[in-house]
Amino acid sequence: MIKKTTRDSILSVLKAGLRINSKLYSILKKYNISEQQFNILRILRGRKNKPSNLITLQERMVHKMSNTTRLVDKLIRKKYVRRTLCKTNRRKIEIFITDKGLEVLSLIDPIIDKNEELLAVNLSEEEKKQLIYLSNKLAI
């Protein structure tokens, strides 16, 4: 039989995650972008104009089960990313964030930052570090 404290701790983590995801969803919805698309844009921006590929994106994504090809295709249609053939290896596809993709991130980032601060307003810096530590200890 599972201990009540174990069940309660897991439920608390799940509920907190759902509240955070709900807030993020409501922000991103205004920009017609999903959490997974936002994640890809941030990964590409972090590459600092170096090409990425589908495997690299998949490895770095928060949601590992996402269909990366489909997400990139949607971002291409929105003109937030571009896909090109590698000049040295024609079988390799390179993916870059566009200026329009950087622009949409520059609009979203301050709103996300403000909301993350509001979500964690009741935690001290030490408690935030402890939360990171404890979350990383979960056997997942």
CATH number for 4-137: choose from 1.10.240.10, 2.60.450.10, 1.10.10.10, 1.10.8.60: 1.10.10.10
Long-range contacts of 65-71 (CB under 8 A, 24+ apart): 66/36, 68/40, 71/34, 71/36, 71/37, 71/40
Percent of the chain at pLDDT > 70 equals 99
Nearest partner of 55 among 68, 42, 38, 44, judged by Cα: 68
- Evaluate whether 80 touches 98 at the Cβ level (below 8 Å): yes
Query: Which pLDDT belongs to residue 112?
Result: 94
Contact (Cβ atoms closer than 8 angstroms) between residue 95 and residue 44: yes
Return the pLDDT at 18: 92
| pTM: predicted TM-score of the whole model, two decimal places | 0.85
Greater model confidence, 91 or 106: 106
